[in-house]
Amino acid sequence: MLHSIRVRDYMTRSLFTLQQGMEILRAVHILVENDISGAPVVDESGKLVGILTERDCMRIDLEASYYEGYGGRVENYMSKNVISIDPDMSILELAKRFIDAPYRRYPVVENDRLIGLISRRDVMRALDELW
């Protein structure tokens, strides 16, 4: 039964997304204000082009303290090599992936478009409901 439960059944569909040309300080404010640890970055067509995480934001703070300057575009700070997953992946397979990788969340992409996000907590919720 666990193999039949899919990512699409537990992913978050209502997302905060950022645009690559957005001012970085505005993006950081969105993350802090909404108490989220990262957000996908999409282009005009909704295609995933990156992700901005707390780690990326810490890098911004460090650079600002060294160079006494803050600013720039999201595209200059986001992580660009984002690993995404398919909405039909089984929750069990995803749980194994979370154990083997340092990521806290994965963007869910279908037909080259971002359709959701799934986190470790979402997988834990799925497993809790099943057991």
CATH at residue 69: 3.10.580.10
Q: What is the count of structural domains for the chain?
A: 1
Q: Which residues in the chain belong to E strands, given as ranges?
A: 18-19, 38-42, 48-53, 105-110, 113-119
The reported pTM is 0.83
Read off φ and ψ for residue 46, nearest 5 degrees: 90, 5
**Domain containing residue 13:** 2-130
pLDDT tens digit sequence for 28-83: 889 999 998 889 999 988 899 999 988 888 887 676 666 666 678 999 999 998 99
Measured CA to CA, the distance from residue 99 to residue 72 in angstroms comes to 34
CA angle 111, 105, 6 (to 5 degrees): 55
